[in-house]
Structure 1
C-alpha cells in the first residue's frame, strides 16, 4: 500500500533491451508485418510514447532486433580460428547461423530482408574473410566464397521454413498431377520415392559438403 492508503502501482522500467526483447516476441508470435511501436508498447503494457525515449523509430527497433538475433552468430564468428582447416570454421559459422534461424525464424527473416546497413553482418564477413585469407584464397575468391556460403545457408533456411518451394516433401496437387502423367514427367516418376523421402538435415549437410569440397579445390595463393 502507498503511504496515503492508496494502492501502489508498479511501473514498468523500460530499457532498450526490454523493448527489443518484446519486439522479438511480437515478431515470432504475430509475424514481421505486425511489428510496430504501438504493438510493442501493448506487449509491455506501457504508453507508446514512452518507447521513443529509448528507440526513436521502427528502423531503430529492427536494428536492435538484428543486433540481438545476430549476437550468437557474431560470437561464433569471433571464435573462428584461422589456424584450423578453413572448412571447420565454415561449418561452425553456418551451424551458428542455422541455430539462430531455427530459434528465431521470423526475426531472422526480417533481418535478412531489411534494407538496413547492419554492422553485425560486416563483423561476421570480416572474420570469415580473415579465415579464407589465412587459407590462401585471394581477394576475389574469398569474396565469392563468402557470398556462396551465405547464399547457401540463407537459401537452405528459407526452404526449410517454407518460404521457398523445394521439390519433394509432402506431396501436393502439382506433384500428384506429375505422377499421374508419367509420359510427360518420366524422371520425376522414376525418382518419386526419393523425392518423398525428405530429410532436411541430411540434404543440408550433403549440399554443404559439396560446396565446401568445390571451394576447397579452387586455386590458392602461396603465403610468404
Structure 2
C-alpha cells in the first residue's frame, strides 16, 4: 500500500497536530519530518522554512472559520456574528489559535475577516479611521479573551486560580474578599458574549451621537456643564 505523497497540506496538518499536543515551541522542521516519517530535507521542497510553516498553520486554521454574513442584518448583529465566528478557532484549535492572532497574514484567509469587519463598520456609517480603530479594539478584546481561555502561559490560565474568602485578608483587600466566590467562577462563553455586547453598545452610542456633539472618546472636548446637567 502506497503512503500518501508528501505535500504542503500534509506537512501543515502534521504541524497542527503537534502544536495541539505539545505547543508551538515543539515545532521544528526535524520534528515534523520525524512525525511524518520522512527525511527532513524533503520538507523543504514544499515549505521553505519554519516561519513559513507556522504561517501555513495559522492560515489553515483561519481558513476553517465559517464567516457567515447576512448583509440584510443590522450592523450590530453582523459584528456579533463575526466576533463569535473568530472565537470558534479557540474551541477547535486552542493552541494553534495563538499563531493566528500573533502572525501578520496577507493571504486571502488572513484578509477575509479583516475585509468583512471593516466593510460592516463602513456600512454602518463609520469613516475609515473610526472603522480601523474599532476593528483594532475588537481584536484586542478577542485576543485577550483567547489568551485566557487557551492558557497559553500560567499568567493567562484558562480559569482563575482557586480563591477562597478565607485565603484573603479582608482588612487589606475587603472588595476581593467579598467577591472571591465570583472571582473563582468563570463561564468563558458568557463572559465573551458580555464583552462583545459592551463593545457593540459602546460603538452604537458613538455611532448615534448627534452631529457636532462632543465626542466622549479620549482627546475630544469635554461636554458642557449644561449637557451634564
TM range (shorter): 0.7 to 0.9
1:46 and 2:38 aligned? yes
Question: For 1:74-107, what per-residue CA distance to the aligned partner results, in whole angstroms no more than 9, with x for missing partners?
Answer: x51xx43333211222222222221112211111
* Aligned pair partner of 1:201 in 189, 209, 212: 189
Kept in 1, the 8 Å contact 2:11–2:32? The answer is: yes
| Equivalent of 1:171 in 158, 162, 187 | 162
- SS in structure 1 of the partner of residue 71 of structure 2: coil
Partner Cα distance (1:22, 1:172) in 2: 39
State the distance in 1 between where 2:185 and 2:15 align: 37
Q: Does residue 185 of structure 1 match 2:176?
A: no
Give the alignment's TM-score, normalised by structure 2.
0.80
> Which deviations, in whole Å up to 9, do the C-alpha atoms of 1:97-121 show, x marking residues without a partner?
211122111111123234x443333
Following superposition of structure 1 onto structure 2, how do residues 1-224 of structure 1 map, counting pairs within 5 Å?
Answer: 10-73=2-65, 75-76=66-67, 79-114=68-103, 116-119=104-107, 120-163=109-152, 164-165=155-156, 169-171=160-162, 177=167, 179=168, 181-219=169-207
Name the CA distance, whole Å, in 1 between partners of 2:82 and 2:46.
32
Once the 2 structures are TM-superposed, how far is the Cα of residue 32 of structure 1 from its aligned partner?
A: 0.4
Distance in 2 (CA, whole Å) between partners of 1:143 and 1:156 is 20
Structure 1 unpaired stretches of 5+: 1-8
For the 8 Å contact 2:55–2:99, the answer to whether it is kept is: no
Write out per-residue CA displacement over residues 40-94 of structure 1, whole angstroms, 9 at most, x where no aligned residue. 1111111111111111111111121111111023x51xx4333321122222222
Q: Is the 8 A contact 1:72 1:96 kept in 2?
A: no
